[in-house]
Chain A
Amino acid sequence: MSADSAAATRGPWSLALRRFLRNRLAVAFLALFALIVVFVLAAPLWADQVAHTGPNTAHVLEKLSVNGQQRDVVTPQGEPIGPQWFEAGGRFFLGADSRLGRDEMVRLMYGGRISLLIGIVSGLITTLVAVILGLLAGFYKGWVDGLIARTMDVLWSLPVFLIGVAAGISMAVGGLKIGPLELHSGSIWAPILIISVFSIPYIGRAIRGEAMALSEKEFVEAAVAQGAGPPRLMFGEILPNLASTIVVFFALSVANNMLFEAGLSFLGAGVQPPNSSWGTMISSGVELLTTAPLLSIIPGAMIMLTVLSLNVVADGLRDALDPRAKVRLEAHAGMVEPEGAPV
């Protein structure tokens, strides 16, 4: 079999994977993201086997044996112990988080699980709802499109963060009950719901535009001629052609949602205490910024690395799934001539 015929027999996903793997930067950041995921998944192992404490366990009055010397986890003046690295057998590796004397490393790992969970779950919800709405608007057009697109415009034009904070605080006090849906205050689903709702236009508008363009294509007209109904046209014909866009936007959405969560939690409207997320950890660390800057810097760095890796991976995915987009972008930047450009 010749190389050409081998390429011809490979499917588009296989080709995309090959293109993605050729992008070393994207692969490196995918590996970094995987490392972060492994790091947070290892939280119970570290907590049980190394730190011997839970993420919310206070050690205010305890002493720690460091190289044979007894040291206060929290001094009588309320100063938490700093990073011990491996001096205390891995306990308080990054020090204590606050005057409560909780193990910062354990909270960082557990907090990362919550931050990632919120980012991924809200990304999934956002993507799912946005794809459905985008498809409906793009396919039906007319009043359906008007209603959905204008609603998304309204949502897009709102001061999302301020409303998110207000909603988060309100739900932190009284929870939420809409029909059978009941969220207890402090539930992790509260920030997930807020973030999901306010992020819908971000993906929905792009999907709607593409769905609208795709619905005019010949293959859709052919399917109509064969008697396909709207559900088959939307989900059988148009949706598969949106796959690359959806994958890329999902990755970006997870990154954005993690930032959103960090912001909400920083302002007290996201993850509720005593649970931690990277956002709440930055918030509580700010109080000790001058004496223990690592308490804010480390969770901040974790957010930055996670978001950066997701953004680079999303870029790599876009280039791999839609190589013409890359050519278009580079042409726009004046790097190469686009295909078919007049010479």
Chain B
Amino acid sequence: MVRGILAVLVLAAVAILGLVGCGDSGGGKEGGTLLGTYSSFPELDPGLAITQEAWIAMYNTYLPLLTYAHANGSAGSQVVPALAKGLPKISNGGKTYTLFLRPGLKYSNGEPVKPSDFRFAIERTIRLNSLGSPFYTNIVGAEEFQETKQGGIPGIKANDRTGEIVVDLVRPQGTFLNVLAMPFAAPLPESTPIEDLSSHPPAASGPYLIASVRSERSWEFERNPQWAKTNSKAMPDLPSGHVDKIKIDVVRNQATQVSDVEQGKYDWMENPPPPDQYNRIRQQFEGTQFRVEHTISTYYFWMNTTKPPFDDPKVRQAVNYAVNREALERIYAGQLIGSSQILPPGMPGYRKFDHYHYNLAKAKRMIAEANPSDTSVTVWTDNEPENQEAGEYYDGVLKEIGLKPTLKAINADNYFTVIGNQSTPDLDTGWSDWFQDYPHPSDFFQPLIGENIAPTSNLNIALMNDPELNQEVRRLGEQQLGPKQESEYAELDERYMEQAPWAPYGNRTVSTFISSAINLDNVVFNLTFGQDLTSFEFK
């Protein structure tokens, strides 16, 4: 009898431990190996991870001090503590952030996570000349460090004994919580080499680690042994994941990916299905294996505001009237929702308006009135099929309103390098897009149409530099986001669109497409990080 009671107690204890160890279960099976496909090999080094594809891999491997809630929709835009005990205390007029590291955390290699590792990670990002380094130049001393790569960043004080981390900023920065939640800021052991480690990713702190990599071909996630031992107990709010292993193969052909997922050879494809199969897949599998995911993104045509004919706001406004967003929705095969404003839906501060309802006759009239001195323009786009077609459509629109466009469609791999380099001749107008770095409206103004104009890697391609609007961007950027600021960002959106440096045309949707073996209802798509690998669970 006693033996029977003991057996029941042991079984109950095992069951409880199992649940605690594995996080929330959606009622499916725990364990197993998830097989996924990417169409390209991403950066697997947190200091260099800049693409959405890389961020999916970073979300559950390299935890920053703060992260985003593992949730769908706007709930997933909430910044929550990760390695830090809580959200930072902000003092000194918004210029000092104080955080405390949770005690007892360990990397996957067994080394303890130390506050000074945060400083090391930021310095490493800057030393690597990562595209993420500009996010941290507001830290006191970071700009000098970026130039000299000598010494350290005095604005980050880390006390390994007390766990305290204090970050001093040059100016108040309303987005700094978001910046702290980027993978570039994820602490790494100080022994981590200052080089691209995509082929041998460093030790991880999240529920998964990247166990093996075959460069350009595949990589595998495994459970981080330290997660179950220590980290999950210290961070009980973060999910532990359901599957034991995740194997990702690079399959360049998206049609092959679709067929493999349909046949169950793979459980998930990171890319959306190719345009010619998108609607079939959507009709056949929506709700069971397929889901449309909205992104915080804006697709737009930029116009060089410093050179004729686009130095005249009237010409830029005319272009906005001439671009038919409905046509572009069709060009993107239903994977774009038309819009004529800078801020996308879902972004705090978004307030819908449509100042440029399609009116070709008005556009032609405005061009005739503006009578630009130079009508020859070069139109730039990349050669991704939809973007190239958007560029070709835009080329036709400009012709129709009386300009003389010449189209340049260049390789997508170096498109932004070329158009971001101001020595490139004839940067008149062209296609671009922007996906949020973080859910803060400043991310759509400050780097893209604020005063920052760089000779290379320039993001302000329209060369927009309006002192009044710049001042407003700066002022708002220094404040923490609240309802008042959101309303002011909505007004700023309208003010910019009166100047019309861009002709925005839509917000992109992506998709989650999985095999029938996976429970779609449980798959989380985080607006910042994409698919949350801890949410995949076999039925």
Contacts and interface: CB of A to CB of B under 8 A. Distances in A.
Contacts, number: 95
A74 B330 contact: yes
A99 B279 contact: no
Interface in B405-446: 406-411, 418, 424-425
A185 B395 contact: no
B421 to A, nearest CB: 11
A288 B386 CA distance: 12
B330 A60 contact: yes
B194 interface: no
B277 to A, nearest CB: 6
A290 B386 CA distance: 17
A288 B276 CA distance: 5
Contacts of B329: 76
A60 B276 contact: no
The A interface is mostly helix, strand or loop, or mixed, namely: loop
Contacts of A174: 424-425
Interface residues of B, number: 35
Interface stretch (B66-74, B331-339, B517-525): B331-339
A289 interface: yes
A58 interface: yes
A186 B408 contact: yes
Nearest to B280: A291
Interface string B373-393: 000000000010110110111
B412 to A, nearest CB: 10
Given A58-B392, A78-B330, A291 B276 contact: yes
A208 B265 CA distance: 57
A273 B392 contact: yes
A158 interface: no
Contacts of A75: 330
Contact of B385 (A56, A172, A284): A284
B414 to A, nearest CB: 9
Contact of A58 (B276, B332, B396, B425): B396
B332 A268 contact: no
- Which of A99, A172, A289 has the largest number of chain B CB atoms within 10 A? A99
Contacts of B396: 56-58, 274
A169 to B, nearest CB: 6
Contact of A60 (B331, B408, B411): B331
B279 A272 contact: no
Interface of B: 255, 274-279, 324, 326-327, 329-334, 383, 385-386, 388-389, 391-393, 395-396, 406-411, 418, 424-425
Interface of A: 56-58, 60-61, 74-79, 98-100, 169, 172-174, 184-186, 268, 272-274, 284, 287-292
The 5 tightest CB contacts between A and B, nearest first, are A78-B333, A60-B327, A77-B279, A274-B392, A288-B276
Given A60-B393, A77-B278, A186-B408, 11 more contacts: A77-B279, A78-B275, A78-B278, A100-B389, A100-B392, A172-B408, A174-B424, A186-B407, A274-B396, A284-B385, A291-B276
